[in-house]
A and B are shown apart, each in its own frame.
Chain A
Amino acid sequence: MASTQTAELPRAQIAGRRGRFPWHVVVFLAPATLIYTVFMVYPLLDSLRLSLFTRDEAGVESFAGLANYAALFFDPQWSDRFWNALGNNVLFFAVHMLVQNPIAIGLAALLALPNLRFTNTYRTLMFTPTLLSVVIIGFIWKLILSPTWGVAKSMLGTVGLGSLFAPWLGQEHSALITLALVSVWQWVGMPLLLTYAALLNIPDSLTEAARVDGAGQMTIFWRIKLPLIWPTIGMVTILTFVGNFNAFDLIYVAQGALAGPNFATDILGTFFYRTFFGFQLQLGDPTMGAAVATIMFLIILAGVMTYFYLVQRRLQRYEL
């Protein structure tokens, strides 16, 4: 976090002319703070509050303490789905960390090689999927992987791998990983750009010195560049974490709110949506939904605080 540097102004100037109450400060701050508080902070806090209530059939809400949480964690009717969704979300995140970020860093490293042509073109083209809505991406891939259309199968067939094709989106063991890979395909652009920018910021003097000493490009990358871009990788990690534990759109578009087959693709976002809005003949439950949202909030908060703690303690920004 950036440290807050306050300007050194004598009190008289802050107060405007002749020491009156600094109304202008209030005017500058009020609109933003107001909108932010009313439409972001208040709803989050109110959701927390709502999660401590239950609603009966007639719609009357009454205080219930931690009953919703107890149900989510321990009552089989809810907890089966909840733990399933949580586990799936962790797997979803793991696939991103293991596939998306190494690919992005690798591509960025290649793009950042000295004397490479067309880097701008590559970079622009590779970023295209990230620009499109998840909804569009979800539909496109659902069409491509559909066994009825047969595109995926014939494409695999052209490289001789046609027999590998399976209805991945319909099988419990492959559906989530398939969707995670689709998500990776879409979002690689972001860490790619960020890492690339960070790599470009490394002064040539450092890499030149190493090259003169006889180090190859690989060594330069592992020994010099990578350690210098750890802060960026850290930021990419936390952004991926927040994004993944908040994800919903892709699963909703590809599998529907039921996140089949047999809840294999159910993550916290879809679980939240279904709990809150209900599904098909099952009516929604806002208080339970609020409880799910609160748990998601706590998980994300835990991740974010861990990140900042590590950033403060361990990483140093090199003066570049």
Chain B
Amino acid sequence: MSHSFLRGAFLAGAALVAVSSQAMAADATLTIESWRNDDLKVWQDTIIPAFEKTHPGIKVVFSPTAPTEYNAALNAKLEGGTAGDLISCRPFDTSLALFQKGYLAPVTDLKGMDTFSDVAKSAWITDDGKSLFCVPMASVIHGFLYNKSVFESEGLTPPKTEAEFYALLDKIKAKGEVAPLDIGTKDQWEAATMGFQNIGPNLWKGEEGRKALIAGKEKFTDKPYVEAFEELAKWKPYLPEGYEAQAYPDSQNLFTLGRAAIYPAGSWDIAAFNAQADFKMGAFPPPVEKAGDKCYISDHTDIALGMNTKTKNPEAAKAFLEWLATPEFADIYSNALPGFYSLSNHPVTVKDPVAAEFLGWRKTCESTIRNSYQILGRGTPNLENELWNVSAQVMNGTLTAQQAAEQIQKGLDSWYKPAAK
């Protein structure tokens, strides 16, 4: 009699297993892994419906994770075989590593891959240039956003040189109404990305410096890089009160609530700010050292989409990836998410004025990508993570610029031996 009880329990257990691992219904459903949690609403309301309209039978779910957790969570899911069908790819080394481990499928032969330039593809292609493993989506540009109302009420104009920049900050600080510069160090990555990699290119001359680092001709302990850290240290007095515990969403909130004047930005923030701020925004590129210097901007091939080799819907996934190469997608993406600039060759008119302004800097300044992503990001300790750590500490004042530079170079030297070219 207790046998039947046991049998019943066993059947219930088996049923539970069956129910919970039941396959999807008739429609193919694609899940997209991404770190763009801020874009969730736009994907759900604009981008996905556009795709589903022209591709009946395929449903798409956009499933972002917080940016600081994305890579760890993704790696865990890939190891466990539970990652989504389409995976947002970070540029260069990280995604290359995933491809080498067999998690990403090659997409070289998909339709429309020739609409991407070599520069666009360079972030997601193997060293020999033969296998493309993610379809490029967009690049982002770094600069500074500012609250136009605050500037107008104080009669301020966007600065061009460093001297003008600090004079501006001093004026705003003296008035004492809003925080001059809005960036926090709790999440650490902003200090490196919107700090170091934003103002740095002007100092190390963009691609020149980056390529010299890779060739081993320059070191982080050289003058331009130490100066970049010194710049960050100079920001300390202008940061909001309690900035050490200010996380990324706090910075975003502070700016959109009108409690800060200037926000060191990546262009991806434009879309979110448009929705939340009730004032007009303006933008200016990172100030140059002296008037008349050549300017450099960080114009970073930022995001692409790849296919999980273990996807259960390869055909549907490929259809979506091919849609990414169409002019329709380029137009929707660049305009629904201003600040993301489509990497395809299709001409796109960016309607948002601030996003268009960022884009305009490509004409007057030299572009470069962040120097920790290509080749230099392949070892342990990871250069990007280390830059986060020391940039945050420099802004906190717990590490000097020289110490920061030395720590970075030491970590790099422990594994990186530039090939003698």
Contacts and interface: CB of A to CB of B under 8 A. Distances in A.
Instruction: Verify whether A and B have any Cβ pair under 8 Å.
Output: yes
B79 A260 contact: no
A147 B242 contact: yes
A258 B186 CA distance: 10
Interface residues of B, number: 44
A256 B377 contact: no
Contact of B242 (A166, A260, A280): A166
Interface in A51-103: 57, 59, 77
A170 B75 contact: no
Nearest to A145: B245
A170 B392 CA distance: 10
Dominant secondary structure at the A interface: loop
Nearest to B73: A277
A283 interface: yes
Given A147-B250, A256-B187, A284-B76, A167 B101 contact: no
A170 B76 contact: no
Nearest to A146: B250
B244 interface: yes
A234 interface: no
A75 to B, nearest CB: 11
Contact of A280 (B76, B185, B246, B385): B385
A256 B73 CA distance: 12
Contacts of B90: 281
A283 B75 contact: yes
Given A77-B381, A147-B246, A170-B242, A260 B398 contact: no
A286 B242 CA distance: 37
A77 B380 contact: yes
Interface string B77-101: 0010000000000100110010011
A282 B244 contact: no
Nearest to B102: A59
A258 B189 CA distance: 11
Contacts of B93: 281
Interface of B: 68-69, 71-73, 75-76, 79, 90, 93-94, 97, 100-101, 184-189, 240-247, 250, 253-254, 377, 380-382, 384-385, 388-389, 392-393, 396, 398, 414
Given A169-B186, A258-B188, A281-B90, 8 more contacts: A147-B245, A148-B242, A167-B243, A167-B246, A256-B69, A273-B72, A277-B73, A286-B79
20 contacts: A57-B100, A146-B246, A146-B247, A147-B240, A148-B250, A165-B242, A166-B242, A168-B245, A172-B396, A256-B68, A258-B68, A260-B186, A260-B389, A260-B392, A261-B393, A261-B396, A278-B75, A281-B384, A281-B385, A282-B385
